[in-house]
Amino acid sequence: MSPLPPVRIGLLGLGTVGGGTLTVLRRNAALIAARAGRRIEVVCASARDLGKSRALDLTGIELHADPHAVVDDPRIDILVELIGGLEPARELVLRALANGKHVVTANKALIALHGNEIFAAARSRGLMVAFEAAVAGGIPVIKVMREALAGNDIQWLAGIINGTCNFILSAMCDAGRDFSEVLAEAQRLGYAEADPSFDVDGIDAGHKLTILASLAFGIPLQFERVSVEGIRNISAEDVTYAKRLGYRIKHLGIARQQAHGIELRVHPALVPTRAPLANVNGVMNAVMVSGDAAGPVVLFGAGAGALPTASSVVADLVDVTRALTTDSENRVPHLAFQPDTMENLPTLDIGDIETAYYLRLMAADEPGVLADVTRILAALGISIEAIMQLDRAPDTAEVPVVILTQRVREAAMNQAITSLEALPTIRTPLHRIRVETLT
């Protein structure tokens, strides 16, 4: 029996992830061929600056400045899109599918915002779109949710899915430093962009949560329904007080199935120090998935970087290569559920979610103030778990007060905050962070 011909790859982007992908494919070529059943070869690639010096072996690869030349190359079987962003990535991926090419991408924004359209185009032509590297870099969370947990009713998932936010909050916790100082360090080290908004405002994590929730609950991709909050308002004081109370502050993406809908939210949260996610530090990522059969499963690893992300890209290439001779109707579905079983379940408004809260307020140092605070909380049915009044700062007439509440609907907490901020003895704004025990 003659060996199967190699699978030919067209690569869009020779940056960090593109270069890492080419390195892994060439360094482990024999091992990958043994696992995939045939060789995988990059035959052409595109890059914005072809004259740029790169520490890559580009032997035998046809290079183009125009990515359309790669997409339209009749030789390639699989297009690997690693240029990022929405356009021209969307147009190039759809064009590749129209040309009959399978697609592998690491582009979480593309999948979160245009995945429904892209997967429909792929299904209409019996093609595959693989996107393991779009969430959590080298952690195989998509494969685990789509395949290993296929027999489970997923109840909830929570993840540290943005390395920049995790680096900043870890450094703030370990050294008591301010957000702005640590952000500047993250930018110097290359962990944060010159404009860090995409990361620190929670948008990147929102894109990733959109994908994970679709895989978990069989709902369409719907980024517009995710409640997104970043970490700019987390202070060194909040981090210190949280530690005193037995918590660490983490930036989480949370999706939970409730009786009346799905929670989709990204925000900072106090996490008990004993919880696995509380101990994920630096730029590392972790995702915790709770299934009815498997129970809680924690996946931990590098969420970004050339080789970790390339590991996921190459894993997708192996999967697509293995499936090239499989009937398209019998492949693993793009979003874990068969397309005709996907349900547009309601998603809960953030005001309808229920969680515990950390409140930090600056109160006038005079009698009756705490009584006013507790009266307002009690009137709205909000029970206090713990309260801590700290020493008055020098040269002020105010004292910091930290309150941990029991679980309550966010709408009630918002009403309480409005009433508390209306008190003449409370300085505004009051600081609120949600508390997640991850159970």
For residue 292, give the amino acid letter: D
143, 208, 243, 250: the active-site residue: 208
Count CB neighbours of 350 within 10 A.
Answer: 17
Beta carbons of 229 and 266 less than 8 angstroms apart: yes
User: Is there a contact between 371 and 426 (Cβ–Cβ < 8 Å)?
Assistant: no
Residue type, 81: E
Tell me 391's DSSP state: P
Tell me which H or E stretch contains 171: helix 163-175
Tokens representing 302?
A: 């590098």
Cα separation values, 359 from 168, 171, 432, Å: 21, 22, 5
Instruction: Provide the token pair at 408.
Output: 């309550």
Cα 305 off chain centre by: 15
Q: Which residue(s) pair with 387 in the sheet?
A: 403
Dihedral over Cα of 404, 409, 414, 417: its sign: negative
Taken in order 139, 140, 146, 147, is the CA torsion positive or negative? negative
Sign of CA dihedral 362, 227, 146, 134: negative
Is-catalytic flag, 243? no
* CA–CA separation, 311 and 305 (whole Å): 10
Q: What is the DSSP letter of 53?
A: -
CB 329 within 8 A of CB 36: no
Identify whether the C-beta of residue 137 lies closer than 8 Å to the C-beta of residue 299.
no
Residue with tokens 């507790």, as numbered in its chain: 374
φ, ψ dihedrals at 11, nearest 5°: -115, 120
Indicate the DSSP class of residue 339. G
Residues annotated as catalytic are 208
